[in-house]
Amino acid sequence: MPGGLVAVTTLSLILPTYNEALNIGPLLERLGGALAGVDCEFIVVDDDSPDRTWELAEAIGQRDRRVRVIRRQGERGLTSAINRGISEAQGRFVGWMDCDLAHPPEFVTVLLQPLLDGSTDCAIASRFVAGGADTRSGEYGLQRILSLVLSRISAWLTRLPVKDITSGYLVLKRSCFADFMLEGDYGEYFILMVHQLVHRGFRIVEIPYTFSNRQFGESKTATNLWGFFRRGVKYLRMIYLCRRGPNK
């Protein structure tokens, strides 16, 4: 395990899912192996997936006590799912990631290490610092290009010291959320979260990693220009909130 991680603390890893039946098993298996030496829990927050992702996760949870499943009925949304996971987390540290295997599960140990050694309060997996990469291609090639443009525009307008301002893959101290919650609908929540962390004086480090195509299933990210335009309006709102002031 990278960095010689041992069971010295608890990590609560939040896994927001919707129709990830083909990915949830391999994801939990790889996470379980990578974090075998860490006292941790995996909180699957599922929005009542029609493909019954929650049911598969529950079956895994019967074999692995680290897996806990929250099946939300009548409520959907990435940001609210993460907030629900944070509210029920038992760990000193919390983290979350995409559940389509585009975020490499084993990398969570790299994100956890600087928190364990006390050198940071938040570790963000970054595509856009030296050594990082976004290798999406084929039908996801447009997403790759537009994500880069969006992240650079957001960073420029907000002047926040984070290059991958829409990362969505991180580990941070649970105490960071003592006086605020995540806001937003989809990936734009990350911009305002970084803004809140920076202006509250929390230390942030970006660690390079490689982001790739999802393994199975359909992407929830906009896959065409119209979809990105609709999402872009929400990103612009978050940028506006950031520019208003540190506590808005």
Residue 16 pLDDT exceeds 50: yes
7-244 maps to which CATH number?
Answer: 3.90.550.10
Residue 46's pLDDT band (cuts 50, 70, 90) = very high
pLDDT in tens, 149-175: 777 777 778 888 999 988 999 999 999
**Cα–Cα distance measured from residue 238 to residue 75, given in angstroms and rounded to the nearest whole number:** 22
- CA-based nearest residue to 231, from 72, 96, 78: 78
pTM of the model: 0.86
Over pLDDT 90: what percentage of the chain? Answer: 64
Res 40: pLDDT: 96
Residue 7 pLDDT exceeds 90: no
Residue 109's pLDDT band (cuts 50, 70, 90) = very high
Contact 68, 43 (CB under 8 A): yes
**Cα–Cα distance measured from residue 98 to residue 36, given in angstroms and rounded to the nearest whole number:** 20
Residue 90 pLDDT exceeds 70: yes
Specify the pairing of strand 67-71 against strand 122-126: unpaired
